[in-house]
């Protein structure tokens, strides 16, 4: 069964800490994404990557960075955590087939609380 695995389900961090959220996929997908989910706001794209060592900003990149050193791993970094980054973070990977057929698979999410 194909999987996207996020390293932590729940995290509590202090304001100002550097936080690493890890995501690993076993499907050999080229594309990986980091979203945050807040009530009433749906899924908002933070960063995405279409290849190793490649990254692109999404809609809300401020306060975040990413790293993709290997195809299967995409890390989200909060350089200095703040309370407004308390949220559910979702990682996804995808492929695109001919004819624009999509396969997006999500991890189970990491609920981060910054105190």
Partner 1 sequence: GQQLNQSPQSMFIQEGEDVSMNCTSSSIFNTWLWYKQDPGEGPVLLIALYKAGELTSNGRLTAQFGITRKDSFLNISASIPSDVGIYFCAGPPVSNYQLIWGAGTKLIIKP
40 binds partner 1 (CB under 8 A): yes
Q: Which of 14, 42, 83, 84 binds partner 1 (CB under 8 A)?
A: 42
Q: Which of 45, 30, 38 is nearest to 91 (CA)?
A: 45
Using CB under 8 A as the criterion, what x/- string covers residues 63-102 for binding partner 1? ---------------------------x-x---x--xxxx
Alpha-carbon distance values, 20 to 11, 15, 80, 99, 112 (Å) = 10, 14, 11, 36, 11
Q: Which of 11, 13, 43, 63 binds partner 1 (CB under 8 A)?
A: 43
Q: Kindly report the number of other CB atoms within 10 A of residue 18's CB atom.
A: 10
Q: In this structure, are strands 19-25 and 4-6 parallel, antiparallel, or unpaired?
A: antiparallel
4 binds partner 1 (CB under 8 A): yes
Interface positions with partner 1 (CB under 8 A):
4, 9, 40-45, 48, 58-59, 90, 92, 96, 99-109
């Amino acid at each position: 069964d194909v999987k996207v695995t996020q390293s932590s389900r729940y995290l509590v961090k202090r304001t100002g800490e550097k936080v690493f959220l890890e995501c690993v996929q076993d499907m050999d997908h080229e594309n990986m994404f980091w979203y945050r989910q807040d009530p009433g706001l749906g899924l908002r794209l933070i960063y995405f990557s279409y290849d190793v060592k490649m990254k692109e900003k999404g809609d809300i990149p401020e306060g975040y960075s990413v790293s993709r050193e290997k195809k299967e791993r995409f890390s989200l970094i909060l350089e200095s955590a703040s309370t407004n980054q308390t949220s559910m973070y979702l990682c996804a990977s995808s492929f695109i087939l001919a004819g624009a057929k999509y396969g997006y698979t999500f991890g189970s999410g990491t609920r981060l609380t910054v105190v």
